[in-house]
Structure 1
């Protein structure tokens, strides 16, 4: 009787809750009577079809985008002298007023240092406040002051060393550190190039520029691959450029695959087919090829918790669609188990109990006899 009871109990077990291992039911109406878990209301489900890839997931062809604001800024750019800079002042035909650099001294060592009070000292002129002035303005002031002593002085002013302004590069660049702001405009792209470019661990879609306590994010992918110059900006003094790591740019491959794992998305996009291949492909003995799912967080404000895309790959030719379906960071790829595999797992868990009851009943009969 005990054996019969166990077998009847085993035969009456039904529903996914009794079967070990997670899976995704194909019927989205499995709500358990609770609106919170109603897939119809909380999850959008799409089949991965050629129409879906063509209309919903296809991206427009990249094309260069000009940045007129950046062009205007660069045309109007003019360096402003500040404390710490070194000026090189030349008065033609008056070598006594020009400090020669010589073979032992560089122009920066022989120039006029802008002191902490923003002034320099120059013969006949005395102290001259130059901080906050352009070199052309300094040149005009010196010409007027020297005109009292020299007839029609010809004066030239250049910056021998740019030491007052700098930007800071941190994160995943080859050579993090500081870069000076000079008389040549410095853009975001040029600064990263001077820093040796990005490292292999860099997330080129997440570059943060912090200026005056405010932060803005830029994408070098759009700049490099699509020529979107709007992602390039002119840097200013004390800007902080940080290139993030790509640790967060991952996809997760779970379920009935050869080797469940997380995969980093590098600078190249990753497709569903590539993710499955890197995870060892389908577990041939247990996977249900018609149940390949991509679970993606729903857009903000959509009122949904996720979007689920299902690929029916029972026909291997459908894997062509998998090679065209591009994954996004934090996507979860899940390959569900075949019903027979889940049933076998249930039997494997219950069989020891059945055997215990069976052999226990035999022993009890032997003792009775």
Structure 2
């Protein structure tokens, strides 16, 4: 008798506990999820801000093309024209045709003149400066300056692809990216390092939305890191057809699309209890959504970001059925043991 009552009490207790509401008081509302989704849709800067990462927004000066100026290690051709100084004409022409005039310590050295600083000058500015120096000694002289050899400038591409791309003062980010294969790239996680500083360029806006405010002018020795598509994921767990991690190369994905990629919800799912765990932000949250929200809201209001975890709970009846499946063997074992002990006279029925 004792075991019969024990089994009844035990099962009734589990029915109530398994069917009891598990709603946490620490959950955020669907309105919070919608507001955060619209913030995510603003792009890379908004997401980085949510994650608590400090960064400087792109300065408009980064979009301006640089003037072509003379730099260290550049080599110049310098020639003159004068009605009588054929000797000087031939000397300068000979030097230009052989080694040229190399910029060393920002200066060039010209016969019959002192060293002249030409670094960071345009060719026209250098020409005027050299001519002015010549005119102190020789009248009616004309000076011609051109590049014999320009120092090669490059940017380094690393990560998913590896390459070194030559650039000039007009080369922009889009020009560089068009020369490498980044079809499988994670545009959100890709970035640029300039002189050890992180530039928060939004590759997605540039390449997918055509936002030219992200198309900065490249500088010598810039480093472009191209992340692999698998570097950002969201995890889908619980009562779905296929539990797995999904790549999100663009920085976000709609909840609808994520659920579709895993085959949708199982019949055993509790459609009124879909949780999103967001821990990779300054203020971690657990959102609680109903299937009706997912069905009715637009994709832009249902955005997931990197490292989110979506958990679809099972329905109460499914929980109970699974519990019964797991506990019945133990109850049967206990009942068999009880009967065995009774047969041996160890346990005496109270009836």
TM-score with structure 1 length normalisation? 0.70
Aligned to 1:354: 331
Q: In the TM superposition, what is the alpha-carbon distance from 1:354 to its structure 2 partner?
A: 0.9
Q: In the TM superposition, what is the alpha-carbon distance from 1:129 to its structure 2 partner?
A: 4.0
CA contact (8 A) 2:273 2:290 kept: yes
Aligned to 1:36: none
Pair 322,141 (structure 1): closer, same or farther in 2 beyond 3 Å: closer
Where in structure 2 are the equivalents of 1:58-69 lying within 5 Å? 69=60
3-state SS of paired residue (1:288): strand
Pair 271,73 (structure 1): closer, same or farther in 2 beyond 3 Å: closer
Pair 151,274 (structure 1): closer, same or farther in 2 beyond 3 Å: same
1:98 and 2:98 are equivalent in the alignment: no
Question: How far apart are the structure 2 equivalents of 1:242 and 1:136?
Answer: 37
Q: In the TM superposition, what is the alpha-carbon distance from 1:128 to its structure 2 partner?
A: 4.0
5+ unaligned residues in a row in structure 1: which ranges? 20-24, 31-38, 61-66, 102-106
Question: How far apart are the structure 2 equivalents of 1:330 and 1:309?
Answer: 17
How many residue pairs align between the two structures? Answer: 321
Aligned to 1:11: 12
Aligned to 1:271: 254
Aligned to 1:253: 236
Which of 267, 280, 299 is 2:263 aligned to?
280
Where in structure 2 are the equivalents of 1:1-369 lying within 5 Å? 1-4=1-4, 5-14=6-15, 16=17, 28=23, 30=24, 39=25, 42-46=26-30, 69-70=60-61, 73-74=64-65, 77-91=66-80, 96=90, 97-98=92-93, 111-115=100-104, 117-125=105-113, 127-147=115-135, 148=137, 151-158=140-147, 160-163=149-152, 166-172=154-160, 174-177=161-164, 179-180=166-167, 182=168, 184-194=169-179, 196=180, 198-200=182-184, 202-267=185-250, 270-284=253-267, 286-297=268-279, 300=282, 305-312=284-291, 319=295, 321=297, 325-368=302-345
Question: How far apart are the structure 2 equivalents of 1:58 and 1:191?
Answer: 27
TM-score with structure 2 length normalisation? 0.73
Question: How far apart are the structure 2 equivalents of 1:90 and 1:197?
Answer: 45
Question: How far apart are the structure 2 equivalents of 1:72 and 1:326?
Answer: 31
Question: How far apart are the structure 1 equivalents of 2:21 and 2:210?
Answer: 42
3-state SS of paired residue (1:13): helix
Pair 248,140 (structure 1): closer, same or farther in 2 beyond 3 Å: same
Pair 59,131 (structure 1): closer, same or farther in 2 beyond 3 Å: closer
Pair 123,111 (structure 1): closer, same or farther in 2 beyond 3 Å: same
5+ unaligned residues in a row in structure 2: which ranges? 43-57, 347-351
Question: How far apart are the structure 1 equivalents of 2:238 and 2:16?
Answer: 19
CA contact (8 A) 2:103 2:119 kept: yes
CA contact (8 A) 2:172 2:217 kept: yes
CA contact (8 A) 1:43 1:305 kept: no
Question: How far apart are the structure 2 equivalents of 1:272 and 1:149?
Answer: 78
